[in-house]
Structure 1
Amino acid sequence: MINNLEQLYIDQLRDLFSAETQLVAAIPDMAANATDEALRDAFNHHLDETRTQRARLQEIFGFHGIAPEGEDCDAMRGLIKEATKHIANTQKGSVRDAVLIASGNRVEHYEIAAYGLARAFAECLGYDEDVKLLTKSIEEEGAADQTLTKIASGGLFRDGVNEEAAH
């Protein structure tokens, strides 16, 4: 039973830790399914960031003397499951790359919201060091989202997907 903001904050951090752990396992598959080199590189770069974000969360848990385990992020599990289903149902090429971008954007938006909420709780609780670390992760998630959108709008959606549809 969660009885106060600090307990809710810890619950949210554990949810984020679970989400990041699931992504460390899922991102390599997303990169392997990408045919666009820039997209594959973006996934591989974000895998390194995801590992760093998980390490930041471990650092925050250390500040508070608690274990990161104890929560399973069902939302991330669902986002990964949905991405896996769509990847399996899409022919390799630009259309699958578009699916990967859509799935990646959804994941990034979830993480931006989750980190933003955790940071707001940390601010209310006066956990200044936590706020700094959470802010770094929010910035990285936002940049990853922008990178995926740039790849899509830079030609993949306009050229690659439309060309495949014409055939």
Structure 2
Amino acid sequence: SQLLRTGQLRWGSNLFHIGILFLFFGHSVGMLTPHFVYEHFMTAGAKQVLAMVSGGLFGVLGFIGISLLLHRRLSDPRIRANSRTSDIVLLWLLWAQFALGLATIPMSAQHLDGSEMLKLAEWAQRIVTFRAGAADLLLDTSPVFKAHMFLGMSIFLIFPFTRLVHVWSGFGT
């Protein structure tokens, strides 16, 4: 679609990609690093505040970017005519995921001791290492965290069947 109209694409694409890349690597490092690795130089509460501030900043950048890309795809008749339904659905899912992620920040601010973040990180670590009991950690977690996690895992599930696979094209060149 970049050949059809470039104006909004540059801003939207750059903001989206800066936001999503930082958030992906931030979530990966933040959630998968065991607490004992950083507890000697950073408290769980300090790590949570760092995650809230940096995640909030890059979440807003990504949200603005995905909003521009969604508006561009829906408002330009030529781009819309060349879009598959899956392209539009994917943009809406990513938009909702950014919105849910930003909605977790006020919830995180209600417990700045880092206890909720530690539970969520332990859940992620148990999932990727195939350890039992991961679901039990989420029993009393806020619904906004659960929705953000569910939608995130759903996006990973549909990833191979969408144009998101363009991520891998950079490695192939």
Same fold (TM over 0.5): no
Of Structure 1 and Structure 2, the greater helix share is in 1
